[in-house]
Amino acid sequence: MIDWHRIDTVFLDMDGTLLDLHFDNHFWLEHVPTRYAQARGLAPEIAKAELLARYRDIEGTLEWYCVDYWSRELGLDIALLKQEVEHLIAVHPHVLDFLEALERRGKRRVLVTNAHQKALALKLSRTRLGGHFERIICSHDLRVAKEAPGFWSLVHAIEPFDVERTLFVDDSTRVLQAARDFGFRWLMAVVEPDSRAPRGEVADFPAIAHFGDLLPSLHSD
């Protein structure tokens, strides 16, 4: 599946790839609507319908991922609300084994995330992921979402990499397509981003359910 001798750098998404997307799905689809309904005196189903429409309006933009944007728009302290359900933050199976195996093989590990800085800090504080990367790149620092055409040029300017010798793993096919358009040779989709949701189907990219699928080849080469 992957010739590790031809890989120098591994770029990894966070939410849905390294971390269980259940936290984010529960937060945005259940917890925020509940708190919004309480704050506005709305019926829960009305609040949820309103919020889902507002999410769709800016899906895929940097604002969609922005804690500060939604705090202003909804009149809620989104960072504080995340702390209310932070116990749901969980690392996917085999992730730490995979990151440690990459280190043993001398691969450069770079976290590349659309998560807002406040969400990123919370998740790194709740997990053991932070010490397993040579670099962490947040799209909010670059002011461009990973889906945007100019994103990877900005990354390349601060983290030079060879598109022929870099693996990028993400659970979003839209993000993976942007990476393919930039010229990435090695791309991998994660098809079970949310442990409590049905497995997705990906036709356009090689795919794994979890990082245990990659460990045998990483250990055997």
Token couple for 8? 């120098």
Among the listed residues 214, 160, 207, 215, the one whose alpha carbon sits nearest the alpha carbon of residue 187: 207
Helix (H, G, I), strand (E, B) or coil at 113: strand
Tens digit of pLDDT for each residue in 41-100?
999 999 999 999 999 999 999 999 999 999 999 999 999 999 999 999 999 999 999 999
Per the CB < 8 A criterion, the answer to whether 51 and 32 are in contact is yes
Instruction: Give the Cα separation of 138 and 141 in Å (integer).
Output: 6
Tens digit of pLDDT for each residue in 136-185?
999 999 999 999 999 999 999 999 999 999 999 999 999 999 999 999 99
What's this model's pTM, rounded to 2 decimal places? 0.96
171 Cβ partners below 8 Å, 6+ apart?
A: 13, 15, 16, 17, 21, 189, 190, 191, 193, 200
Instruction: Give the Cα separation of 197 and 92 in Å (integer).
Output: 14
